[in-house]
Amino acid sequence: MDNSFFAYLQRLELIAFFSGYPLIYVITQLIAGNQTIRNLFKINPALLLSFAYTLVGTLFLGLQLRNLYPEYSIAHLKEVIQQPYLVAWALLSLLFWIPMLAKKPVLSLLHSLVFFFLFAKDLFLQLTLPSADKNILRNNMKLYTESLLLNAGAFLLILLFSLLLFRLKRKKLPKVN
């Protein structure tokens, strides 16, 4: 794997987009286990986790396309993408738009654990090395916080959208006497 500065920046992008999802997943599963919450929303919020993860993956794809602009050639793609396997793994998150995969949110959790591992490895190395730079640790924690906010915002957006669709469907159904 290339240890260049640009590869490090690309790894930070991946951490910023995907590493916060496991914590959002756990919190949502805990809250969704409450029957009162399920009755309040009329749907199980935990089933929407995969769609929120995919929305974040779509935003990541948009960033990658923006970085490739204006030349979308294979040569430019090879030049810009420093860690192709990690980027390809990140883009596999788009598969969770498929309803069959989206019904199993644990698959999205397993997918995101690769990026959480990158964050945890950096955190561990920074805490255990005596000559570690504290700015790197501070930067990783800032990125993790932003990832949590991004993933929570995506989940809330999907939740609000699904609640809106649920209410619209309920209003359109004719009442039977």
**Which residue is associated with the tokens 């599963």?**
29
Q: Given a cut of 90, is residue 2 above it in pLDDT?
A: no
Torsion over CA of 134, 147, 13 and 53, rounded to 10 degrees? Answer: 150
Amino acid present at 137 = L
Contacts of 6 (CB under 8 A, 6+ apart): 82
Whether this prediction's pTM lies above 0.85 is answered by yes
Q: pLDDT (tens digit, 9 = 90+) per residue, 124-135?
A: 988 888 887 788
Task: Classify residue 47 by its DSSP letter.
Answer: G
Give the number of other Cβ atoms within 10 Å of residue 52's Cβ.
Answer: 27
Listed range (27-36, 48-57, 64-73) with the worst mean pLDDT = 27-36
